[in-house]
Amino acid sequence: MTRIGMGLVGAGFVGPHHIDAVRRLGFADVVAVAGSSDESARQKAEALGVPKSYGSYQALVDDPDVQVVHNATPNHLHYEVTSAALARGKHVVSDKPLAMTSAQAKRLVNEAQRAGVVAAVTFNYRGNPLVQQARLAIARGDIGTPHFLQGHYLQDWLLKDTDYSWRLDPQQGGASSAVADIGSHWCDLAQHVTGLKITHVLGDITTVIKKRRKPSGSREAFQAGHGEGELVDIGVEDLASVLVRFENGAHGCFSVGQVCGGHKNDLVLEVCGATASLRWRQEDQNELWIGHRDRANEVLQKDPALLDERARGYARLPGGHQEAWADAFLNVMREIYACIAAGPPYPALSPIVATFEDGFRANRIVDAILESAADGGAWTRI
């Protein structure tokens, strides 16, 4: 098999996890890293053991050894980096959000179609074996027709006013913080697991911490601040609750917050159907709760021997050996690179991979939640 060359733009918090996943594939090489300057790119490449470094993404997308461009830059750069890669006929793995605005996301959907390449967005929680178990169980009718979805995605890394991220600056992160950054994951997961589209939303959003200390230098995600920097006004939300309706008439609600002490990466999705319920919690991701009315509830532990045949391949370790965030990320990457390796005409992406259309839809949902909140909490159609 011809080896596939990968180039990463943006090696901050999540970028190195793209590299780890691609290295684990076994048939792809991490060829280059691009950073915001020659010096930072050189340092990152050295630390990550990557042969080439570039001080601009343009140079990386021009490199003939790079066939797949991974975009892990801050949100405001997503459109231009992805668009430049597509214009050179490169496959693209964009971290979420696909773009900072829906208009940009829509343009990228069209540009990817024209380029005829493999184009994916990393809504990576889809890659967890028990998420796939839940999806297949619902599709098989194991819990009956879903009528209620609920859950949350709560974190605490922005709890203090000394915590700061580019996500809180609309010029770099976009018009939304918590809803776009983590609410988008919840919505994608809910739609993916049930196969149902969200059609309407009603949002209640708020900014709990209205002034924060902004550091003079850059700070990567999840790094705590120590009180340095000027005090700046924060205009984007760090907490939100959203009512949702699905295309089959199912109702739902979820909350997102980056200011909820003790919740580290607490993503929970519960689906209640006509006969039973399922609940998956990212922080206990090797367990799937199954709720019954007329018999004792169950907890299914991740064990390939106990999983649906079609989910089994996503569990790479035997029962009792915990799988985690990086393994689910790898599962998504495996499916994307399998398409690339197949060569043109590229086969359709596996359903476990979010397409650019899914990414555009995520942008539209975030817009609708913001519109709804601005209208004082009006039901808003996607």
Binding interface with ligand NAD (CB under 6 A): 9-15, 34-36, 40, 57, 72-75, 77, 95-96, 122, 124, 166, 181, 218, 220-221
β-strands 298-301, 354-355 pairing: unpaired
The minimum distance between CB 291 and ligand NAD, in angstroms, equals 27
Nearer CB in complex with ligand NAD: 220/287? 220
| H or E segment to which residue 357 belongs | helix 356-374
Nearer CB in complex with ligand NAD: 75/150? 75
Nearer CB in complex with ligand NAD: 32/118? 32
Nearer CB in complex with ligand NAD: 12/146? 12
Nearer CB in complex with ligand NAD: 124/133? 124
| DSSP calls for 144-189 | -SEEEEEEEEE--TT-STT---GGGSHHHH-S-SHIIIIIHHHHHH
Asked whether the beta carbons of 369 and 240 are under 8 A apart, the reply is yes
- Render the burial of 79-101: b for 16+ CB within 10 Å, e for the rest: bebbbbbbeeebbbbbbbbbbbb
Nearer CB in complex with ligand NAD: 137/365? 365
β-strands 251-257, 146-154 pairing: parallel
d(CA 155, CA 152): 10
Question: Residue 252 pairs with which residues in a beta bridge?
Answer: 149, 244
The minimum distance between CB 94 and ligand NAD, in angstroms, equals 8
Asked whether the beta carbons of 78 and 167 are under 8 A apart, the reply is no
Please give the single-letter amino acid code of residue 132: Q
The minimum distance between CB 75 and ligand NAD, in angstroms, equals 5
d(CA 2, CA 118): 17
The minimum distance between CB 105 and ligand NAD, in angstroms, equals 13
Chain-centroid distance of CA 258 in Å reads: 16
Nearer CB in complex with ligand NAD: 143/182? 182
Nearer CB in complex with ligand NAD: 189/202? 189
The minimum distance between CB 65 and ligand NAD, in angstroms, equals 18
The full length of the chain comes to 382
The minimum distance between CB 137 and ligand NAD, in angstroms, equals 24
Residue of minimal Cβ distance to ligand NAD:
12
Nearer CB in complex with ligand NAD: 107/312? 107
The minimum distance between CB 156 and ligand NAD, in angstroms, equals 16
| DSSP calls for 223-264 | PPP-S-SEEEE--S-SEEEEEEEETTS-EEEEEEES--TT-S
From residue 374, alpha-carbon distances to 101, 104, 205, 377 in Å are 17, 22, 9, 7
The minimum distance between CB 36 and ligand NAD, in angstroms, equals 4
Please give the single-letter amino acid code of residue 7: G
The minimum distance between CB 85 and ligand NAD, in angstroms, equals 12
Of the candidates 55, 107, 59, 67, the residue with the CA atom closest to the CA atom of residue 83: 107
